[in-house]
Chains A and B, each alone.
Chain A
Amino acid sequence: MSYSINNITYQYSETGPKVLDDVSLTIEEGTVTAVVGPSGSGKSTLVQILSGVIPNLVAGGVLSGELNLEKDGAPALISVVSQTPEDQLFGYGVEDAIAFGLENMGTPEDEISDSIEYVLDLLNLQSLRKRSVAALSGGQRQAVCIASVLAMKPQVLIMDEPVSSLDPNGKKMIRNVLNQMKADYTTVLIVDNNLDWSCDIVDRVVGLNEGKVLFEGTRDEFFRSFDLQRTLGVMIPQEVEIYRALKEQGQPVSMFYQYDDAVEQLDKLFAEKPGSVRNIRPQTFKDPVVTTHQLNKIFADGFQGLRDINVSIPENSVTAILGQNGSGKTTLVKHLNGLLKPTTGDVRFRGNTIAGKSVAQISRSVILVFQHPEHMLFEQTVLEELTFCGRMQGLPFTDEDVLKVLETYGLADEKETFPLNLSMGKKHLLTILSVLLSYAEVVILDEPTLGMDLKIRSEMEDIITNLKNDGKTVIMISHEIPLVFKTVDYAVILDSSVKIYEGSKEDLAVRDDIFDSIDINLPPVVRLSRRYGFDHISYNVPDFAEQAAAVLKEGGEA
């Protein structure tokens, strides 16, 4: 049994461009299919057509083609879990939210009760049933959202970027939920350009680009199609990147996409030498530019957000603030730019306290870029948005300065565009670019890769490098550990409002105990380069591949 769409073409208006162009694909019952593609490839439109939003809710477009979405002669129930569960859950309590869809369908009370029990057991969510939705973590909320949709017994469940705003624990929870659903033979369509978190669950992949299907096949076929991965800008697990790099070198390795499989394959090439990395490269840092002194924060409800935090961020470094959600990362950075006032303790910029200054005054020294660009964008054009900080701070700049930034990051053609009409990734890029035209010496980026495809992420990495080259200090909150190790020099790790690590990346890369305590894995390149005793610890795939090639040239012994 399968569902299919054939030769689907869609335009939002009669004269508009084809958002989907002759798209055909099959969804096998009981499988997990991933739909991937860059921003603007037509993924969201496809979701709306499959779920019936187009044409039932969004009218006025031109839809042609054939939809075979029936089961036993009746239209299949296709439900969607969005990336923002807080906008999707109706009801105060978890039970209310799960019951909502069933109540709308007129399901009798006893059947609703049975369905709630079924989904709570299936997804291991019984412990949440008496909680209020507002009190749940991001991962729990998304899990309840999935439960509320599953309770309606849909034939196909579509998940639209379900983990985009979740921390590693939240992602883990959704992965467990998906595994349970897979075991229960639920048909799932994941629409997400990030396969990093779902690679071991996905059975099939559909690749969309500019409204056309470029690929439809199994997961392994997709992971072997290196050019296609690059064309579609798909985020893949670092293990697959390693496989790709080694395969391109002509090394005799079989496909792997998880750490344990990588070890199994690479053990055949390299001798295991744990703890014998030859060179731990010493890192030296300049004097601190921002420091905190016995910083404590107790919120109005009594929650202690920070406990005796002392940190010294080195000047002209890229520093990561790491930790699970709720560990105090955002609370800490909001103290650094004065958005939050400490209960006790002090924040100093170049040795001088920032107490008594307004956030706008502090922004001339320390500037914070928020993770949701919609909170920041309000000018009429991209050009005006880019110069906002500079104008607020009275920074002199020329039209050439502005155009140079726009051209460097591919926004020159869109300089007169209304910023909110940009793709999510570009909107985020624009908010980050706007701090280039400011006096601030310290730039704080909160989850800077949110909503970015591979190309824009690469540009964002360039911005960080350029900021550092310009003498600025960058502080970054991110849940993307491979990106962190690729980009930063220095790290601060928080756990339950307490600092548990501060120091160089090199030192952190050998502290398994720290990563165990916060339940986050070190990046595969770090773990593997240590495992095989390479010359130095690798922080990115090209370096790992280069070291691997050198070792193999010497005969496989590191």
Chain B
Amino acid sequence: MDYLQYVDGNTFLHRLDPRTKFVFLVAMAVLTSVIKSGAALLFLLVFFLILWTACGIMKEMGQLLGKLKVLLLFIFLLWLVLGIFEEPPVELFKPFYKGQIGPIAICFDWYDIYKGFVYALRIYLMIASFYTVMITTNFSEIILGLCKWHIPYSIAFAVGLVFQIIPIVIGELNSIMEAQSSRGLEIEQCKWYTKVKNYIIFSFPLFFRIIQKAQSISLAMYYYKLDFNRKRSSYKTIKSSKRDLVFALVTLFVIVVTVVLRIKFYVPV
């Protein structure tokens, strides 16, 4: 899987002004941080599913879910276990089990599952909203969008460069792992601490490859006369269109519905 690698396309989301997508990203980050209602989060999930399907990135989001499943399962189980030690704030269903282990009262009920589900879904939506924007906005657009917001070019360029380099670094790490296992280093059928040790082994050549890449990039910046103190021109420009307005209105509608659902169906978690 190519993490955070732009997925080429010409969908509605791809054609939006990057600034609109940045605002969307901030709005979704705030929303998923604040909202802890299962119903509201489920509505957000449905909205995202429609968005991903419309933009043809369902496969990539499915792959993201696959990569996050261990983390999400961990979060789910963590909150489920913590919930066992408290009573549900609302008595909706009969507890599955209620009893005493020594001095500790335990209550395993629907609320524990709900709490685990809400926290796992929040984390997934938080990451997925970031991912949605990043894989539909290429780094040239990111730089253009940031520059339009009067972010200094040096910072915008650095942000863009990070997104250009991430797939290269991941590719290098994969090649190093393949090369070392091809020479006899066991990375598949080994214990977890051996795997950790192996990652330390991989980090050494990876570090040198990154240094080499950084040197090459700094040379290229010199060859292309990049000087952050000099005023640059811009070949491409971006401007908002009716499409951005429509998307902003849809986003606003989603925010309002989410907030309403939060108010109507809130169960404290």
Contacts and interface: CB of A to CB of B under 8 A. Distances in A.
B233 A375 contact: no
A299 B33 CA distance: 37
Interface in A97-139: 99-109, 112-113, 116, 132, 134-135
Given A109-B233, A358-B188, A372-B175, A88 B213 contact: no
Given A90-B164, A375-B179, A360 B185 contact: yes
A359 B220 contact: no
A87 B211 CA distance: 12
A95 B222 contact: no
Contacts of B148: none
Nearest to B201: A378
Interface in A232-271: none
A69 to B, nearest CB: 15
Interface stretch (A363-371, A452-460, A497-505): A363-371
Nearest to A333: B182
Nearest to B164: A90
Interface secondary structure of B, over-half rule: helix
Interface of A: 51-53, 56-57, 79-80, 82, 84, 86-93, 95-96, 99-109, 112-113, 116, 132, 134-135, 148-149, 152, 300, 334, 337, 339, 358-361, 363-364, 367-370, 372, 374-378, 388-389, 392-393, 420, 434-435, 438
Interface string B1-28: 1000110100000000000000000000
B216 A376 contact: no
Contact of A359 (B182, B208, B231): B182
A393 to B, nearest CB: 5
B86 interface: no
Contacts of A88: 216-217, 220, 223
Contact of A132 (B138, B213, B218): B138
B90 to A, nearest CB: 44
Given A152-B225, A375-B176, A378-B204, A367 B183 contact: yes
B258 to A, nearest CB: 32
Chain B interface: which size bin?
Answer: 35 or more
Contact of B223 (A79, A134, A337, A370): A79
Given A367-B182, A392-B185, A109 B234 contact: yes
A370 B179 contact: yes
Given A53-B222, A438-B184, 15 more contacts: A53-B219, A82-B220, A90-B220, A90-B221, A92-B138, A93-B140, A134-B167, A152-B225, A361-B186, A368-B182, A370-B178, A372-B179, A375-B179, A378-B180, A388-B184
Contacts, number: 165
A82 B205 contact: no
A507 to B, nearest CB: 31
B209 interface: yes
A92 B139 contact: yes
A104 B182 contact: no
Given A103-B235, A367-B183, A376-B180, A359 B222 contact: no
B186 A360 contact: yes
Contacts of B242: none
Interface string B154-194: 00000001001001100010011011111111111100000
A147 to B, nearest CB: 13
Contact of B183 (A90, A105, A148, A434): A434
B150 interface: no
Contacts of B176: 375-376
A56 B218 CA distance: 12
Nearest to B8: A132
A420 B208 contact: yes
Indicate the member of B161, B172, B222 with the most A CB atoms within 10 Å: B222
Nearest to A51: B223
B239 interface: no
B184 A389 contact: yes
Given A105-B225, A135-B8, A112 B216 contact: no
Given A57-B218, A109-B233, A370 B175 contact: yes
Contacts of B140: 91-93, 96
Nearest to A57: B222
A376 B232 contact: no
A372 B209 CA distance: 11
Contacts of B223: 51, 79-80, 88, 101, 149
Indicate the member of B6, B140, B167, B201 with the most A CB atoms within 10 Å: B140
A367 B179 CA distance: 10
Contacts of B8: 132, 135
A268 B107 CA distance: 100
Contacts of B222: 51-53, 56-57
B184 A375 contact: no
A254 B221 CA distance: 46
Contacts of A113: 235
Given A95-B235, A103-B233, A376-B205, A393 B184 contact: yes
Contact of A112 (B161, B188, B201, B233): B233
A393 B186 CA distance: 10
Nearest to A439: B184
A58 to B, nearest CB: 9
Nearest to A148: B224
Nearest to B173: A375
26 contacts: A51-B223, A57-B219, A87-B217, A88-B220, A89-B220, A90-B161, A90-B221, A93-B140, A100-B224, A103-B235, A104-B226, A104-B230, A112-B233, A358-B187, A358-B188, A360-B184, A360-B185, A367-B184, A370-B182, A372-B179, A374-B212, A375-B176, A376-B176, A389-B184, A392-B183, A420-B208
